[in-house]
Amino acid sequence: MFHNIGEMLVLFWRTIRAWRNCWSQRRKILDQMFEIGNASLLMACVLSLFLGGVIALQSGPVLRDRGLVSLLGGLVGLSVAKELAPVMISVLIAGRIGSSMAAEIGSMKVYQEVDALRTMNINPTHYLVLPRMVGILVMLPLLVVLAVLSGWFGGALVAANNAEIALSFDGYFNNLRQVVDVNDVLSGLCKSVAFAAVIGVVSCHQGLITQGGPRGIGRSVTKAVVNSIVLILILDYFLTRLLMIFDR
Amino acid sequence: MNPTLEMQPSISLEVRGLRKSFDGQPVLRDVNLFVEPGEVFVVMGPSGSGKSVLLKHMVGLEVPDAGEIRLNGEILHELGSLSQYRVGMVFQSGALLNSLTVGENVGLYLSEHHLGSSAEIAKIVAQKLKIVGLKDIEHKFPSELSGGMKKRVAIARALVIEPQLMLYDEPTAELDPLMAVVIAREILRLNQTTHSTTIIVSHDRELAFGIADRIAIILEGSILVVGTPDEIRSSSNPLVQSFITASVSKDRIDV
């Protein structure tokens, strides 16, 4: 395990050092960005819409019973912006995009395409890893922004239309504006950048160490998704603790 | 690799005391070879004898446990990469990038090293494909090609580098006898026109005796004998004889 973590850190460092190649790899970076956005935008928005909705549905009646329903906008707003949207969208992207990264690079490794790149003096980190890392580092925070908006809207829809909550759009969004500020959204975005790096590094690393045939590729895909999700959840706790220091 | 398109003189390759094990299982045991510049050198041996692992060491894809590979006298692993020499390799499977078209595959070295405009690269790609007897397939994907065509595209991709050293891993494997002859002729013709040092690993006896200047027989990770095709044919080593004369006959099978 420690060997793999070490290899992943080395891969991450090599990718950072290769940033000068971003311009020459721009076509592949744009392809990756389109791939990530196109594949996940609708799903991220729908997921987040229902996420905001279910928080409103669960907590709305409880708050109404205690005469605190006017605070619902802030509650949904904060939980979606700081925690749920970054984590849930990252988990979604780990399953949707991380798996495809590991499968694509893994099959290139198994079928000697990565070796062929090396014989042509083309660095696989520059050619394969850098575009994917930049793509996910740009697109995941963007998806999280859209997911946050979608989640807030989902909460408002439920709050306005559920008879047990019966909180107007205006009442919901007024409280949300009072409670949630830009820093709350930014802290969610900080998390999403870290999660994007985790998904990119774990998935590309798993692809590059793939061995064997189709079974090896399948194993790499599973490991990429599971390891990414586990690391996202562990990192989430420590990042939250760290960001709480800045909140004070 | 030297990032220009000019032809460079062919280079020598030397293998000294090469050893390699995987999980404690020795695959190469003290291999020593010297390949002259411009020579066609075939490493022959049965499946699992360590031929492909030897070839991977020659191009720096494997790190030896002991010993060294020298290109023109310079130790390969001290060079860090193949940046000083142009080495082309044709993999057994072709190893074409499946997500790229044939044209993009053949021109990959040029486009990634920024060695020409799109129009110039397209022209060179068409030239190299023509050399291997292919044309108007630039827009096809590798999955649309036959095994023989994939091999020829892989050769064209290696030719774009204008290699000083050309390595072939089982170039005639999985091909029908007719296509195997076409590929063998192609390899010989390319060696004569480009004068690049050519190393082939294969278990195809017809290919080896047909085009090699010298042949090395490898068995269980050790070189048994090195010599011209005639010297190999007249070798008194019983293992060499059993490998080069092995055949199937109905009369000799006991039921």
pLDDT digits (tens, 9 = 90+) for A188-240: 999 999 999 999 999 999 999 999 888 999 999 999 999 999 999 999 999 99
Q: Is A24 on the interface with B (CB under 8 A)?
A: yes
Quote the minimal CA–CA distance from B240 to chain A in Å.
Answer: 31
To probe the interface with A, which of B112, B150, B169 has the most A CB atoms within 10 Å? B112
Which residues on neighbouring strands pair with residue B202, listed in sequence order?
B44
Crossing angle of helices A130-161 and A169-179, rounded to 10°: 130
Whole-number pLDDT of residue A172 = 94
What residues of chain A lie within 8 A of the CB of B99, using their CB?
104
Which residues on neighbouring strands pair with residue B19, listed in sequence order?
B66
Q: Is A108 on the interface with B (CB under 8 A)?
A: yes
To probe the interface with A, which of B96, B97, B111, B118 has the most A CB atoms within 10 Å? B97
DSSP string over chain A: -HHHHHHHHHHHHHHHHTGGGGTTTHHHHHHHHHHHHHHHHHHHHHHHHHHHHHHHHHHHHHHHHTT-GGGHHHHHHHIIIIIIHHHHHHHHHIIIIIHHHHHHHHHHHHTTHHHHHHHTT--HIIIIIHHHHHHHHHHHHHHHHHHHHHHHHHHHHHHHH-TTT---HHHHHHHHHHH--HHHHHHHHHHHHHHHHHHHHHHHHHHHT--SSHHHHHHHHHHHHHHHHHHHHHHHHHHHHHHHHHH-
Measure the N-to-C terminal CA separation of chain B; round to a whole number of Å: 57
Mean local confidence (pLDDT), A33-56: 94
What residues of chain A lie within 8 A of the CB of B95, using their CB?
111-113, 115-116
Express each pLDDT in A85-118 by its tens digit.
999 999 999 999 999 999 999 999 999 999 999 9
Whole-number pLDDT of residue B5 = 57
What residues of chain B lie within 8 A of the CB of A119, using their CB?
59, 61, 82, 87-89
Which residues does chain B have with pLDDT short of 70? 1-7, 79-83, 249-255
What residues of chain A lie within 8 A of the CB of B113, using their CB?
121-122
Q: Which tokens hold the place of B84?
A: 């000083």
Express each pLDDT in A8-33 by its tens digit.
999 999 999 988 888 888 999 999 99
pTM, entire model: 0.85
Number of Cβ pairs closer than 8 Å across A and B? Answer: 51
Considering only alpha carbons, which residue of chain B is nearest residue A104?
B99
* Mean of pLDDT over chain A: 93
Asked whether the beta carbons of residue B59 and residue A120 sit closer than 8 angstroms, the reply is no
User: Beta-carbon neighbour count of residue A13 at 10 Å?
Assistant: 11
Whole-number pLDDT of residue B2 = 47
Asked whether the beta carbons of residue B93 and residue A104 sit closer than 8 angstroms, the reply is no
Domain boundary assignment for chain A? 42-247
Q: Is the ipTM above a cut-off of 0.95?
A: no
Express each pLDDT in A46-87 by its tens digit.
999 999 999 999 999 999 999 899 999 999 999 999 999 999
Whole-number pLDDT of residue B49 = 84
